[in-house]
Amino acid sequence: MGQWFAENGLLIGLALLDGLAYAALVFMVAVGLNMVFGVLRIVNVAHGSLFAIGAYAAASIGLFLASLGLPPIAGFAALLLAAALVGGILGPLIERLVLRRIYGQEEVLQLLVTFALFMILEDVQKLIWGVQPIFQDAPMKALGTVDVPFGEDVIPFTAYQLFVLPGVALATLAGLAWFLRRTLTGRVIVAVTTDKEAAMAMGIDAAKVTLLTFTFGAALAALGGALASPTTSLVPGIGAQTIVLSFAVVATAGLGQIEGAAISALMIGLGRSIAVYLAPEFEVVVPYLIMVAVLLIRPQGLFGRLETRRV
């Protein structure tokens, strides 16, 4: 065992670092998906398209800023601007024009409608950005690399993936926990999630709450895509891959769970990354093996409850 670890120590270290960064990105999408389900009670397949559009928008804005001769650090502004634009524009449009018409309908209809929306948004991406890869890594280059000690080895790793991605994910988790528990608006959201009819009877405008929640969830998905854009080439289909993994995270954690999504994202992110480095043939199936193993033991997910509804 010791000899095997010595021979594969560097790969294990890289897998852990990559898995942490990947888990942070998946968490950003999954937590927004979980929030949307908690309030709207809709499993939104189109959430993955918001991730992809956020990534494309961030890359486009970043390339535009670079063409103006601005320093690479300005690329961070592109990430935030893209998330705000995508969430602030597409979020209300989708909620008001599409989702509001299917509240309370059969789950099959909701899935079909959101899947149709996903396909439409995928084609919109191709119409706007084409099918050629787009790459804009200015934010990642601006921070450079750091040497991470791991046993007897030293692993050079990008500071962006080591500090920015997990840092934003942790800040999002802490901010959401504080917002939902300590602010009036957050408590209103929890009230609507727990018992929508009772909340409306007390005078809460449920329509505004659902609009706010979906817009915020859309912005989180777009922010995840924006944060991912400096780390990979953007090609058609990135939204589909992300939403499938996000569903695995949500199912593993339990529908409507926020903190649980962080733990399940870490489990799935690390599992996938370890498979990539040590057993590439199992890369695709490992996240779903983790999900199936959890659901066989706890069908409601690690942190879900069979009878109660929570955010």
Q: Does residue 178 lie in a domain region?
A: yes
306 belongs to a structural domain: no
Residue 276 domain flag: yes
Question: What average pLDDT does the chain have?
Answer: 90
CA distance 261 to 275: 21
> Residue 56 pLDDT more than 50?
yes
Domain encompassing residue 102: 11-297
303 located within any domain = no
pLDDT exceeds cutoff 60 at 30: yes
CB atoms inside a 10 Å sphere around CB 215 = 20
Q: What is the mean pLDDT of residues 138-156?
A: 88
The mean pLDDT of 95-107, rounded to a whole number, is 91
Tokens of 54: 């956020």
Give how many domains the chain has, as a whole number.
1
149 belongs to a structural domain = yes
Q: What does the chain come to in residues?
A: 311
**What value does the mean pLDDT take over residues 58-65?**
94
pLDDT tier at 259 (50, 70, 90 boundaries)? confident
Per-residue pLDDT tens over the stretch 157-175 = 999 999 999 999 999 999 9
The whole-number pLDDT of residue 19 equals 95
Q: What angle do CA 86, 164, 18 make, to 5 degrees?
A: 105
Give the CATH number of the domain where residue 222 resides: 1.10.3470
Q: Which residue has the higher pLDDT, 84 or 202?
A: 84
Q: Is 91 among the domain residues?
A: yes
- State pTM to two decimals: 0.92
The model's pLDDT over 297-310, given as tens digits with 9 standing for 90+, comes to 999 888 877 654 44
For residue 310, the model assigns a pLDDT of 44
3-state helix, strand, coil in the chain (%, to 5): 75, 5, 20
**Closest Cα partner for 40 from 81, 86, 126, 99?**
99
What is the dihedral sign for C-alpha 219, 66, 77, 269?
Answer: positive
At residue 8, the pLDDT reads: 67
- Write the DSSP symbol of residue 131: S
pLDDT of residue 192: 87
Residue 241 within a domain: yes
In a domain, 15, yes or no: yes
User: In the structure, what pLDDT confidence band is assigned to residue 80 with cuts at 50, 70 and 90?
Assistant: very high
Q: Which of 186, 184, 137, 202 is nearest to 164 (CA)?
A: 137
